[in-house]
Amino acid sequence: MDTPELNPTEPTAMPSEFAETAIRTAEQICQMNVAATSVMLQAQAQTASALGMPDWSQVIAAGSEQTRQVLSAGTEQLVQAAQQTEAVVGELQRNASQLMEDQTSRASQLIQDGMAELSQQTREHLGRVDDWQGQALDSATSGVTAIQDWGRMTADAMDQLPRPDLRLAPLPQAVQGVLPAGPM
């Protein structure tokens, strides 16, 4: 089954045009029915008149004309209402589109502002982290220097202490008696 291709250059019918066509078609059908009914009733009225009854054909003709005028006026009002409805719907669509565009723009601006603020806060926090790292490095450097200074002072203090004689002194006699004989 082939599907028709849409040609973007061809004008498309508006919904009010479809409504107008449908309303005018319904009016024509009603007008034809009114005309047929009028002709039939006038023929019956003339027949009845020929048989001696009052002639109502002029009343029927006037009523038919009034009915046609009412149908025409009603049709015009319906067509105008359809066109006004289309205009209102078009305006509502434009307003909704503008509202969506405005809301999207606002949301985008809020997101951009939020991202800019987040970026600024991140830069500030990174600056603080850099400061803390610098302070930690300074503290570590000071600590290492202090430990090195303490190590030198300890070495100097050790150098100034008298050195004990680490040679073995002779053991007392009581201890030598308990030990087994022989070289140690």
Q: Distances in Å between the alpha carbon of 87 and those of 10, 14, 115, 140?
A: 22, 11, 42, 78
The token pair at 182 is: 């022989």
pLDDT score of 83: 86
Residue 91's pLDDT is what? 93
Fill in the DSSP letter of residue 168.
P
Q: Where are the domains of the chain?
A: 15-121
Check residues 42 and 183 and name the one with the higher pLDDT. Answer: 42
Instruction: Please say if the pLDDT value at position 1 is more than 70.
Output: no
* ∠ Cα 160 165 166 (to 5°): 115
Residue-level pLDDT at 7: 54
**What is the pLDDT of the chain when averaged over all its residues?**
83
Query: What's the pLDDT at 13?
Result: 59
Which of 49 and 162 is assigned the larger pLDDT? 49
User: Please, which residues have CB within 8 angstroms of residue 31's CB and are 6 or more apart in sequence?
Assistant: 68, 71
pLDDT of residue 173: 67
88: Cβ contacts below 8 Å, ≥ 6 apart: none
**Digit-coded pLDDT (tens) for 24-59:** 899 899 889 988 988 898 888 888 888 888 888 888
Segment 62-112, tens digit of pLDDT: 888 888 899 899 989 988 988 888 889 889 999 999 999 999 999 999 999
The pLDDT value recorded for residue 181 is 67
